[in-house]
Amino acid sequence: MDQNAVSPLPDAQAPAQKPRPGMLKAAWKKVRQPLARSVAVKNALASVIAGAVRFIYWTNPAVAGSDDPNPVIAAQTPAIGALWHGQHLLGPAINPRHHKVVALFSRSADAELNALVAEKLGFSTIRGSGGRDRLNSVEKGGARALIALKKTLDGGNNVAMIADIPHGTPREAGLGIVTLAKVSGRPIVPLAIATSRRKVLEKSWDKTTINLPFGRHALALGEPILVPSDASPELMEQKRIEVTAALNRVTDRAYGLVDAPK
């Protein structure tokens, strides 16, 4: 048998092997953790994202019918601004600079970068859980967060809070925000901001919407929702449903404004 007939190509003529997806993923995992632990890297990335948020907001002028937040802030401060997960990315950009706002972020590592971005956009932050039951959970930092948020409102400062529960049912308010309104006596103000140019991450649990530059934006604000200090569990559930419905209404209105023909 002629061995030359079955011998492999010489090394110089062997085709180059392409990196396998598994190899690239493994390489990324090796560098991801050190990057995630680097304070300098996280701060640099947060600065870039904050700059992008400002740029996107500046290049999306308000459409006719968009609400002006200043009269609402003047009338309702201190209040609890409520937004949905995945629809909140431009939220920090709509706050007038002379108003102090404290935002609640979860204690998860994933939320740390979001908190840094908010701080670079002028917000103060409190870390703790804000879900249906977790806001009252000491183990999750929820009770501490509730006390800190109440102190913030008692001090005359506004609070921004995501109403739905992380990785729960999207666009369904949890009891956390209703509990804060009950113990503080301050109103919940539903709000939504939308842009005409956007990218929706369809595979994300909350259909995260990435706002894009060079379009138009609309801000929609709902009527304030008050929760009595003596609210029963049944009334608390009614208020939770009310917050859900109000936030969905302002979200639909914001998108309706930016998607309407010029």
* CA dist list (Å): 184 to 79, 148, 151: 9, 11, 9
Residue that has been written with the tokens 């409190």 in this structure: 126
| Cα angle: 217, vertex 246, 165; to 5 degrees | 90
What pLDDT was estimated at residue 112?
84
Residue 236 near residue 182, CB atoms below 8 Å: yes
Domain extent listing, the chain? 47-259
* Total-model pTM: 0.82
What pLDDT was estimated at residue 9?
44
Which amino acid is located at 192 in the chain?
A
Measured CA to CA, the distance from residue 188 to residue 225 in angstroms comes to: 5
> 99-108 pLDDT, tens per residue?
789 998 877 7
Measured CA to CA, the distance from residue 101 to residue 60 in angstroms comes to: 23
Measured CA to CA, the distance from residue 74 to residue 149 in angstroms comes to: 20
**b/e map 153-190, b = 16+ CB within 10 Å:** beeebbbbbbbbbbeeebbbbbbbbbbbbbebebbbbb
Measured CA to CA, the distance from residue 190 to residue 82 in angstroms comes to: 5
Report the candidate in 35, 164, 177 with the shortest Cα–Cα distance to residue 109. Answer: 35
What pLDDT was estimated at residue 36?
59
What residues of the chain score a pLDDT lower than 70? 1-37, 96-98, 109-110, 129-141
Question: Which uninterrupted H or E stretch holds 53?
Answer: helix 39-58
CATH superfamily of 47-259: Glycerol-3-phosphate (1)-acyltransferase (3.40.1130.10)
* CA dist list (Å): 126 to 143, 145, 231, 260: 12, 7, 26, 37
What pLDDT was estimated at residue 256?
98
Structure tokens at 7: 């011998």
Measured CA to CA, the distance from residue 195 to residue 61 in angstroms comes to: 9
